[in-house]
Chains A and B, each alone.
Chain A
Amino acid sequence: MDWKELKQNVGDFVHGYFVSEYERKLREQFVDLNDLFMLQCFMELVGLPNPAAIYLLDVYPFFLEEFHTWHRRMGMDRSPIGSMPCC
């Protein structure tokens, strides 16, 4: 391995390290935001009134996939809402 190649590899490593750190931070932030968003969409789950509940029926079908990962992460094995029939 010559000097130039080594320099290149170290450079790539450092670059990759920081970029992945950055990406991890972004993902964490994304997950937090998503949790908040989901909570606002499914307030009934925690027993709070949701003024827009009936309007959200329109968007429920689009939520299915995100809802699934969300309720798994929230420690609920099966879908807690029957109208979101993901599992």
Chain B
Amino acid sequence: MAPSHGDGPFAHRQHALLLKRILFFGGKGGVGKTTCASAVALAASRQGKRVLLVSTDPAHSTSDIFGTPFAADEREIHPGLYGLEVDANLEARRYIDNAKAGIARMFSPAVAKEAGRQIELASSMPGVEEVALFDRIGDLIVDRFDAYDLLIFDTAPTGHTLRLLRMPELVSAWITALSKRRRALLALNQDIDQVRLAPEAIDPAEDPILKTLDARRDKLEQVRARLMQHNFTGFVLVVVPERLPIEETARAADILAESNVNVCEIVVNRVLPDDVDGDFYRSRRAQERVYIDEIKRRFGAYPLAWVPQLPTDIYGVENLERISAVLMGATW
């Protein structure tokens, strides 16, 4: 077993994952994303880093692993390890409430009440929660970056996460288009002023709509830039040696590469150990070997980490410690 404490002989030689500042863990549902994310978070905190582990998976198993409830605000769940649970529903709520407050400031109470009802309806529109969730992740990436040595995001199953990572591109392009139109409009308005020699147009620098749009766009671009910074942001894909997870992982790796997000490791979880006995396990192992060869062939370009199937399921810090050690390079 590798030493797991900060003062151990390996403390000066850090695992490549721990050199990152932002890590995302993704993969098909049930492959052990949360376990791996928690294990790496634990390993990093043991090396004396300040770590924030963010659970964005609606299943929120992180609380169960650590046996401590995660909350909507950051709290220390283990020495040096802080936890936070992002509830997409709650984030959407918060965003909508903000918008309502804005309207309440500008209009009469009767109007605001009517508008509030409608906005309430809008909040159940598809996509709102997704955008709110992304917004929160973006806030953490930008605003909490300096407060921690490592931010770890335990994400929802693959498809959802990939859409999330591509969202800034899409939304920012959209907002850019809007802002460009608005600018053209205001410029035209100024031309009209000049012809009439009667200034009534809004100065583009003073236009609240343009200001709001541009602020949004700048924020999205900032998040996007951080996501694509290969030297400090990485995506870890977790897979188990089975058909469907392998296919999904291959697709995810392609899409991430397309979006210019760095896949920094593929963790192969729940590999049967060599010393298992009995016909049942021997036949499972034989089949598994086929998949393992396939994984080596298809994902050879990425650093691979192998994690054994343990005799017990994983919960509690002690159990997690074993996975931590394996992920940090201990032999098993």
- Mark A residues whose CB is within 8 Å of B: 19, 22-23, 26-27, 29-30, 33-34, 36-37, 40-41, 44, 49-55, 57-64, 81-85
With A52-B178, A61-B103 in contact, is A26–B95 under 8 Å at CB?
Answer: no
Cβ of B115 to closest chain A Cβ, rounded Å: 5
Q: Mark B196-232, 1 if CB is under 8 A from A, else 0.
A: 1000000000001100110010000000000000000
Are A60 and B188 in touch, CB under 8 angstroms? no
The answer to the question of B5 belonging to the interface, with a C-beta cut-off of 8 Å to chain A, is no
Cβ of B271 to closest chain A Cβ, rounded Å: 41
- Mark B residues whose CB is within 8 Å of A: 92, 95-96, 98-99, 102-103, 105-107, 111, 114-115, 117-119, 121-122, 125, 127-128, 131-132, 167, 170-171, 174-175, 177-178, 181-182, 184-185, 188-189, 191-192, 195-196, 208-209, 212-213, 216
Are A26 and B188 in touch, CB under 8 angstroms? yes
SS class, residues of chain B in contact with chain A:
helix
Are A58 and B102 in touch, CB under 8 angstroms? yes
Cβ of B218 to closest chain A Cβ, rounded Å: 12
Which chain B residue has the least Cβ–Cβ distance from A54? B131
* 6 residue pairs bridging A and B, Cβ less than 8 Å apart: A30-B189, A33-B184, A40-B177, A53-B131, A58-B98, A60-B99
Q: A36 CA to B174 CA in the complex, in Å?
A: 13
Which of B92, B170, B177, B178 has its CB near the most chain A CB atoms (within 10 A)?
B178
